Amino acid sequence: MSVIVLVLVGVLVLVVAGCVCVVWASRGGPRWVRGAAAVTLAVGQLVRKSGRSGGKSNSGFDSGSSLGSDSGSGSGSGD
């Protein structure tokens, strides 16, 4: 079980480091940071596309999540 935790912590560290690289690259970081940011953004696109293509059953969930967003924006306009 500790191996699973170690793998998850490793993935979390990679995700956080990728996010840091994206922010740093947007502020004009070194060349290697821009490369790491490009890889991070490309992997993010692949993850998003793989999540969408596998889920015809997710369409019901998506409509439910949009209802939650609508109610959130309605409460924001009431302030």
**68 or 32, which is more confident:** 32
**What's the pTM value of the predicted model, to 2 decimals?**
0.58
CA distance 17 to 26: 14
* More confident position, 62 or 48: 48
- The amino acid at residue 77 is S
At residue 1 the predicted structure's pLDDT band, cuts being 50, 70 and 90, is confident
How many helices (H) does the chain have, and how many strands (E)? Answer: 3, 0
d(C-alpha 8, C-alpha 18), whole Å = 15
Confidence check: pLDDT of 19 > 50: yes
Q: What rounded mean pLDDT belongs to the chain?
A: 78
Residue 31 has pLDDT above 60, yes or no: yes
Identify the pLDDT of residue 52. Answer: 73
d(CA 71, CA 27): 35
Residue 13's pLDDT is: 96
